[in-house]
Structure 1
Amino acid sequence: METVFILTILVVVFALAFDFINGFHDTANAIATSVSTRALKPRVAVLMAAAMNFVGALTFTGVAKTITKDIVDPFALQNGSLIILAALLSAIIWNLVTWYYGIPSSSSHTLIGSIAGAAVASSGFAILNWEGFIKIIQALLISPFLALAVGFLMMSLFKVIFKNGSLYGTNKKFRIFQIGTAALQSFTHGTNDAQKAMGIITMALIAAEWQTNDDIQLWVRIAAATAMGLGTSIGGYKIIKTVGGKIMKIRPINGAAADLSSAMIIFGATTIHLPVSTTHVISSAIMGVGSAQRVKGVKWGVAKKIVLTWIITLPISAVMAGIIFLALNLFF
């Protein structure tokens, strides 16, 4: 019992650390366009994003419940606390590596891959809840393509509506409008991403037999929302630089179109209780907007690098989590 207690406390600590890191790693994507177009100063954008992420994180719990029960059955886990701890360590390591190099990888992919990898290392592939796991993977794969299409359509619509307006006047109006879209983007980020740590902590509480259902306790919601808000306040300027400028040259009208498109996809996923990668969705929306503006204006070399990171994140995280689980199992 003493070992289970220690492992559960460690899971809670590392889950909140993951949310903190997620705050400065992924939230940078939510405000990247508004910073790059100078609609908001970086410090103001970061503080606004922190507040809106906190509010969004407290508003919904559906995604947290999906993480809790749809990858593996927390009530059937053996060595549950150890599996979850290994998954968190793997996810944190990958997030820090990609943050250091300024690569907008997916915290969702690394967390879900890590949970699956650690669970398989413990009990084999039969432990996976295949129906729920495949549903989550489908959401992660489909959402970027939806964001690309919606971004393309949104920008095409804006071009038709504002075709007779002056470029200077239109961009000036959209720079003001972008303050609202950046706030919306940060709110939707909180509704989806912050819940992943809530789901992880709830899994650990169930595995330790401290909880008998998949309800997300209030203290878990507040702790995860606070961790993400604090992480956001630190800022992630390396990611902002990649997403906000290296994919394409972004003007306020482009930034507003990308923000609205990605917010629609992320919030849509939240309402049907599915986790998506906010990084994938936002980057894809920017690519869609850029394609509608001018296909050659999108720096596809950078886009390919980002997509490659998306592809390798899940399997690398799964293998890394499996190795970490086997190493931890030697000590516990």
Structure 2
Amino acid sequence: MMKATWALGALAAVTLMSGTATAQTKLTWGHVYEVTEPFHTESVWAADEIKKRTDGRYEIAVFPASQLGKEADLNQGLTLGTVDIIISGSSFASREYAPIGVTYYPYIFRNPEHLLAYTKSDVFRKLAAGYEEESGHHIAAVTYYGTRHTTANKDIKTCADLQGVKMRVPDVPAYLAMPRACGANTAPIAFAEVYLALQNGTVEAQENPLTTIEAKKFDEVQKTIALTGHIVDHLNTVISQSRWASLSDEDKQIFTDVMLEAAERATKIVQEREAKLVQTFKDKGLNVVEVDKADFEKNVKEKSPLETYGYNQADYDAIRAVQ
């Protein structure tokens, strides 16, 4: 009788182990950032943490550096089912739901703290819900990417100083708003080719966060960094419609909690790096210039009004009111 009981127990244990193994779900998480950047390291942390908190029921493989395709491919992959989770900018989300692109409109955010307050606001929930209704996909968290500034080989203190300057800008409507309002001649050169384009004079200026300026060594081929601070940039962690629908309420909460924590961790790293870079660039001999932001903002509002991009004034006003 004891042998029979032991055999039944052993069989039950084997069955349980087999059931646990077959219950594990493998997910893919893709993005375009390098393995050294916090958007990758903290995604890997999140994948491990989700595995722990779900007792191994989810195994998430994180693919960096466009291994699963460029950002447009990743967004399409959410719908095609080739990727479960991505990190992507609101400029891509706005292709599905235009109003969410207002978060890239120049000078809408005062600083990173304002952006982070927005992510906890009613207007964020409204815009995220609009995107989810239109695309089916769920925005789980927002990470601060960096504040975009302008580099050039001349002093830039006012909007008029960009008049006629050949400037590389990503081919994204909201990114183009400030340079075009100031009269720059914009060129959508591929990111990988920007250094060479600056070096050989194909373009005379570009705009990116300080962390990107350092990482891509643009400071080697530009003399001036103008602290235009025109866009407080951010990235969304997005879960595909099919994957989000498949999660239990308990697992949805685990995924959300972990992704929010990962976003906070990455944001802190970016902020700490940015805080040191102004002095770093000055020490390298670059001319770091404080600009007349009020002048830039005035020109943007007059010459690149937000309605022309399909954004809503009410959303802009609600975001600006967030404290």
Same fold (TM over 0.5): no
Higher strand share: 2
Higher helix share: 1
Q: Which has the higher contact order (CA 8 A, sep 6+)?
A: 1
Give me the TM-score of the superposition, normalised by structure 2. 0.27
